[in-house]
Amino acid sequence: MFCGKCGAECKDGATFCGSCGNPLSAQSSGFTPADRFAAPGNVGDTPAFDPSSIAEQPFGAEPAPVYAGGPSTYTPPKKKGLGKGALIGIIAGGGVILVGLIVFLVYWFAIRNTPVNRYRRIEKDSISSMVSSFENVYQYGGSSGMDYEVTVTLGSRAQQMLEQSAGIGMNWLDSVGLSGHVESGDDAMSYSAVVNVNDTEIISANAILDLAEGYVYLQVPEVLSDYLGMDMEELGMSSRDLEQLSMAMEAMPDQEQVSDVLTRYLELVVDHIDEVDRDSGKLKAGGVSNEYTTLTVVLDEDALTDIALAVLDELEDDGDVRDILIAMGDAGLVGYSMDGEDYYDEFMDEVADARERIEDDGLDMGGEEITMTLYVDGNEVRGRVIEIGDQITISYKCPEEGNEYGVEFTVEQYGSTMFTLSGSGEGDTGSFTLNVSGIDAVYIDAEDFDRDALKDGNLKGTFTLTFNSLIVRELGSMFEGAELVVTADTSDDEITLGVEVSANGGFLGALDLHTVKTKGSSIKIPDDYLTEREWTREVDVSDLLSEIGSRLRDAGASSQLVSMLDMLPMILDLN
């Protein structure tokens, strides 16, 4: 049986429709869903469906059910919202998750900041900075290049000294410069250089060393575009020397490999430090003091034994160390008359012997301990003290208080201070004293000093150095009141350095250096070259010296010097 209003199927004998609640009559029993669209007269007197009788519905609204009786008055039931119980459940569940997250974060932070974990994290940051500084110096591996420029400027006092040494007038000589490019590859090196006097180019030269073939090529563009080729053996280098030099260049491990090895073994040592005491202590230097967290490590013989065994274990399976030692052995860099494989085998035999000895007897430190104390501010190291028993103490202290800072770096041996660098400053300025064996030897005033750059191994600032009168007296009276002004601006790829020297209130001279690392490129070995005899036959030495003399004259050189150059070919012929 079906409802006459909504057409829903109802149980036989039901009084009301279970879908819309319409009272059921007897005639409903013969109604079927198909009767909704029945032709006129097929369902009693119910008129046929007229589409125009449907009221227009808003877009998206649920349409009313339609059947043979015309538009329905059916109103769909409203959707039920969340009940109070469900809402409370969601809030309670979210609260549990939030509490769990907070507990996890507190636990993670507590574990991360245990004394041991904090010490390891800080030391590994220090290792990273140290290795980065090492990479700035160690440049082996693949091809690399560098542009350079060096200029020496002379003051009147320096000109007088040079004149006395040379015996000719030199007061015209204001500056001498050398600039060019250096390129290094696995088995070849190239150099280019330009000599300038008083900013006037005098002469240039290019040189290429082919270590694989044992040849050196030289070009002087002002003389001849062709290269002069010379066998290095004829220049006094034996074939064995050349072979070792070439092999040595190839054997040098590249920068990345060395950095990986350094990092791995230093971090291995740090990871085997299992006991760290955390406390607080006052750090004092240069009249500045502050309270910092201290992390102290004490390495006794047992701890050092564990570290040594861990290092030896790592060496046994270290492919990088194996490759480095074999290459160095093959190149003869270790002073042994054996090939690389034999050298490595001998090294590993010594490692095995050391391991057996340490396992049996441990490391004998004579009862001494190594104590290391870090003064830390967050993750920043403000001080470090290393004590090796009663023998050696190395300390670095740099407390900060507001904009002020103090510095003290000391090395002591058996209780006696070998040297100390100490002082204080504010912002980017500072004053320091270098004391050697109890004598204040050098006084340093700093301006525009970038201490953050120094932490990364770079030096930026201007530093004025003056000296103890005892030291000046040893140098001679002409250096009385000597003062050096050093201006530095270094980075990973570029170095700018200036040194200005004055004494007795007058300017002596200055040195300016500028280098820039460049991307390495392949070194082209000349296909054609002249032998020494051919090159000498092509080159007119008189013309060369005449050209140099002319350029020196343009630079302001004395006529006496130019005349000496003109006479040089004659002197050579007489000899």
| pLDDT at position 524 over 50 | yes
Distance CA 172, CA 161 (A): 13
Q: Are 207 and 220 spatial neighbours (Cβ–Cβ below 8 Å)? A: no
Average pLDDT over residues 435-464: 91
| pLDDT at position 188 over 60 | yes
Q: Which pLDDT belongs to residue 92? A: 59
| Residue 31: count of CB within 10 angstroms of its CB | 26
Q: What is the per-residue pLDDT across 471-508, written as a single tens digit (0 to 9) for each?
A: 777 777 667 888 999 999 998 889 999 999 998 878 99
Q: What is the per-residue pLDDT across 130-155, written as a single tens digit (0 to 9) for each?
A: 888 887 777 654 557 899 999 999 99
| pLDDT at position 266 over 80 | yes
What band does 11 get if pLDDT is binned at 50, 70 and 90?
Answer: confident
| Backbone angles phi and psi of 396, in degrees to 5 | -130, 125
Q: Which pLDDT belongs to residue 67? A: 45
Nearest one of 190, 220, 226 to 208, comparing CA atoms:
190
Which of 314-318, 395-399, 497-501 is predicted least confidently? 314-318
Average pLDDT over residues 245-253: 69
Q: Which pLDDT belongs to residue 254? A: 79
Q: Are strands 494-503 and 506-519 parallel, antiparallel or unpaired?
A: antiparallel
Q: Which tokens in the block code for residue 106?
A: 């507190």
| Residue 453: count of CB within 10 angstroms of its CB | 16
What band does 49 get if pLDDT is binned at 50, 70 and 90?
Answer: very low
Average pLDDT over residues 194-221: 92
Q: 507, exposed or middle or buried, with CB in 10 Å at 0-12, 13-18, 19+?
A: middle
| pLDDT at position 121 over 50 | yes
- Whole-number percent of the chain with pLDDT over 90: 45
Q: Which pLDDT belongs to residue 249? A: 66
Average pLDDT over residues 424-448: 94
pLDDT averaged over every residue in the chain = 82
CA distances to 191, 196, 224, 385, 519 from 142, rounded to whole Å, are 17, 32, 32, 39, 10
Q: Are strands 483-490 and 404-413 parallel, antiparallel or unpaired?
A: unpaired
| pLDDT at position 69 over 50 | no
Average pLDDT over residues 240-256: 70
Nearest one of 475, 506, 498, 441 to 160, comparing CA atoms:
506
What band does 409 get if pLDDT is binned at 50, 70 and 90?
Answer: very high
pTM here is 0.72
- Residue whose token pair is 């490019």: 181
Q: Which pLDDT belongs to residue 89? A: 61
Compute and round to an integer the Cα radius of gyration of the chain.
44
Q: Are 529 and 227 spatial neighbours (Cβ–Cβ below 8 Å)? A: yes
| Residue 520: count of CB within 10 angstroms of its CB | 16
Q: Are 428 and 448 spatial neighbours (Cβ–Cβ below 8 Å)? A: yes
Q: Which tokens in the block code for residue 16?
A: 């009301």
Q: Are 505 and 204 spatial neighbours (Cβ–Cβ below 8 Å)? A: no
Q: Which pLDDT belongs to residue 456? A: 77
| Residue 410: count of CB within 10 angstroms of its CB | 18
In sequence order, the 6+-apart residues with CB closer than 8 A to the CB of 302 are: 362
Q: Are 36 and 48 spatial neighbours (Cβ–Cβ below 8 Å)? A: no
Q: What is the DSSP annotation of 489-524?
A: EE-SSEEEEEEEEEETTEEEEEEEEEEEEEE--PPP
Where do the H-state alpha helices sit in 43-83? none
Q: Chain centroid to CA 254: how far?
A: 16
What band does 110 get if pLDDT is binned at 50, 70 and 90?
Answer: very low
| pLDDT at position 415 over 90 | no
Q: Are strands 404-413 and 416-426 parallel, antiparallel or unpaired?
A: antiparallel
In sequence order, the 6+-apart residues with CB closer than 8 A to the CB of 322 are: 344
Q: 279, exposed or middle or buried, with CB in 10 Å at 0-12, 13-18, 19+?
A: exposed
- 36 vs 186, which has greater pLDDT? 186
User: SS3 for 538?
Assistant: helix
Where do the H-state alpha helices sit in 331-413? 340-361
Residues β-bridged to residue 148: 180, 515
Average pLDDT over residues 77-83: 54
Distance CA 402, CA 134 (A): 32
In sequence order, the 6+-apart residues with CB closer than 8 A to the CB of 472 are: 479, 480, 481, 482
Nearest one of 555, 511, 558, 507 to 167, comparing CA atoms:
558
Residues β-bridged to residue 411: 394, 419
Q: Which pLDDT belongs to residue 256? A: 86
Q: What stretch of H or E contains 353?
A: helix 340-361
